[in-house]
A = this chain, B = another copy of it.
């Protein structure tokens, strides 16, 4: 079946975003990453920065206290935590975007949210620790924490969030159509494999 929607889940620093961007460029279709945050902000009333920080992270205590600051939002009135409310909006936005036509969606558990559509290609991008550590320092600069600690912290948050909302194991091959190691195969090659798969599905 023709693959129209490409979802890309990725380890932090693996180049998943870059690969997704390249795939969208080559196929001439919309690319949703930061753009997705703006859509969710519009739908939810949350600040983009808040969504960016919490949309893929495990629901933690800080989110419960945040919930009380949003008494006016309908989700809270119905007893949802802010994290669950944000998850519902995220699902709704991703389902709507997929309805609008071909696109590439990075992160935000889109593989799970769109699991019942047959026209999706679900990809997971991972890479060796050294490759990722080097990449995040080049892209995002140094910080107080070691690159390895930053990677582990961010990956752990994504893993816990994914498990919490999907009941699945993050990075388990069976959840995706294709998983690629960008450090051993190369970022350009990964993008090319995905583009070819979409083109050949037509």
Contact = CB atoms under 8 A, between A and B. Distances in A.
Interface in A37-60: none
Interface string A121-146: 00010100000000000000000000
How many copies of this chain sit in the oligomeric assembly?
2
A176 B177 contact: no
Interface of A: 11, 124, 126, 169, 171-174, 176-181, 184-185, 189, 193, 197, 200
Contacts of A179: 124, 173, 176, 178-179
- Interface-central residue, A124, A172, A174, by most chain B CB under 10 Å: A174
A177 B171 contact: no
Contacts of A180: 177-178
A126 B177 CA distance: 9
A185 B181 contact: no
Contacts of A169: 172
9 tightest A-B contacts by CB?
A173-B179, A179-B179, A177-B181, A171-B173, A177-B184, A173-B173, A126-B174, A124-B173, A126-B173
Nearest to A1: B184
A76 B57 CA distance: 51
Contact of A197 (B11, B172, B177, B185): B185
Contacts of A200: 189
Contacts of A174: 11, 126, 171, 181
